[in-house]
Structure 1
């Protein structure tokens, strides 16, 4: 498997995304940070969490053949043990992350998707796999935030309120699930496999990198796969930034973050 990837932090911020790969496996995480003025109960932060969990999961994917959900559960448990003595893991703002895992075996492609990062399989037609439970819940709570211009104090306050409201739905039945401190979240992931000869390529995208299709609607999944194949992941990130720069106040595309960390991995199977 040939893997190329690119990642870029939102302007002026540290990158909370993580991506890494081996010839047989690739993992992408999008860490959920804490808005300014909001507490997390953790001294390490979302970038540390996504990097630490991603590294642990990738190592286990290459060392054993267990189901991906089991490997993710063990990774969550392991990372929690690294900071449960120094941080309040019961805090609702404890660092969390979306997870996409892809593994190539001798005869199949296996995947796992937890939360709203996106996996697109090129199987003749794009097969898009994304867990949209957070978006469904968030839709009823974001009207105030979306009505305000990005970058204003009012929008910043509304975004903080939105994030803190969604915390009450995190990792519980009837809510949405992310990798945080509870290993049982891995059981809620979308998982599957496809025969190796049915998949030509795959794209793993953080929600910052999938924006041109699923938030801005300025392109399509087939065109995105073509762009990745012809010009590589960095070209997709340029498309993201060009769109964001064209609408800095969120008037055309209301959103919580005017600019978001963006990460894309493209795999030739």
Structure 2
């Protein structure tokens, strides 16, 4: 049975940022393990993070721990005006100071952020946690720098290095290497933010188009990905280093 959660936040809330907005989330861990993905729903923002799994780190300092700490710090810092890259860089800086994190030898996480006001929607993506906006056209904000380096057998040498890929860890420079976009709210019906355990259903498996994820029940999306992965348990159809990944997706509808 699926363990996804579908959290709906009705547009009847008095908070001015939520008027006309519906937020749905769904998440589940890979079978047999505790998820390291994290979702935070704030008055006018949604954060989706994916803690990077490490077999060498203790559970109290793994990717899930870092993703939780980073999400909490971003939620504390978030405001309506500062660039999202600055907020991410400051959050990383604060965690380094609070937990004595060392660049290159600390847990890490990918991150996406969506923040809105009455006029605009801001989005940020760092590493493989894309954000997709739907309106008259589909606009995909994705960071492919990690994927572009996959053929390198020593890919970790490129982590948080110029010309390589960037992920939230212990170097605040990574926050300012994130990709960003701003869209007009009156031209945007909805936005999704999702970890690679869900985006793989579009980019790797071809089970969906991005537009399908605007309409389908989120739990159904997660279940269909799991079913496809079980049918390819030997990784022949879709080469990958693990059968299942943690899954997290948030959908913000602005026409509710």
TM-score range, shorter chain: 0.7 to 0.9
What is aligned with 1:153? Answer: none
Query: What is the aligned partner in structure 2 of residue 186 from structure 1?
Result: 175
Matched, 1:27 2:47: yes
Comparing 121-130 with 100-109, greater Cα deviation is found at 121-130
User: 2:133 matched to 1:121?
Assistant: yes
Q: CA deviation at 1:174?
A: 1.1
* Cα separation, 2, equivalents of 1:255 and 1:225: 26
Q: 1:220 aligns with which of 204, 209, 217?
A: 209
Deviation at 1:82? 2.3
Q: Which residue number corresponds to residue 163 of structure 2?
A: 174
User: What is the DSSP-based 3-state SS (H/G/I as helix, E as strand, rest coil) of the residue aligned with 1:56?
Assistant: helix
1:138 aligns with 2:123: no
Q: For the structure 1 residues 268 and 138, does the alpha-carbon distance in structure 2 shift closer, same or farther, using more than 3 Å as the test? A: same
Equivalent pairs, count: 234
Moved more, 97-106 or 218-227: 218-227
Structure 1 segments, 4+ long, off by >3 Å, are 39-43
Residue 46 (str. 1) matches residue 63 (str. 2): yes
User: 1:106 aligned to 2:118?
Assistant: yes
CA contact (8 A) 2:88 2:176 kept: no
TM-score (normalizing by structure 1): 0.83
Q: Distance in 1 between matches of 2:73 and 2:66?
A: 11
Matched position secondary structure for 2:239: coil
C-alpha deviation, 1:218, in angstroms: 2.1
Q: Structure 1 residues 268, 80: closer, same or farther in 2, change over 3 A?
A: same
Unpaired segments ≥5 residues, structure 2? 1-20
**Within the alignment, does 1:248 sit opposite 2:237 as a pair?**
no
3-state secondary structure, aligned to 1:171: coil
Check whether the contact 1:41–1:93 (CA below 8 A) recurs between aligned residues: no
The answer to whether the 8 Å contact 2:196/2:247 transfers is: yes
Query: What are the residue-to-residue correspondences of 1:141-152 with 2, within 5 Å?
Result: 141=153
Q: CA deviation at 1:118?
A: 1.1
Kept in 2: contact 1:93–1:167 (CA 8 A): no
For residues 234 and 42 of structure 1, the distance between their equivalents in structure 2, rounded to whole angstroms, comes to 28
> How large is the RMSD of aligned CA atoms in angstroms?
1.6
Distance 1:134 1:18, change over 3 A: same
1:68 lines up with 2:84 in the alignment: yes
Q: What is aligned with 2:107?
A: 95
8 Å contact from structure 1 (residues 119, 205) kept in 2: yes
Q: Is the 8 A contact 1:11 1:259 kept in 2?
A: yes
Gaps of 5+ in 1: 142-164
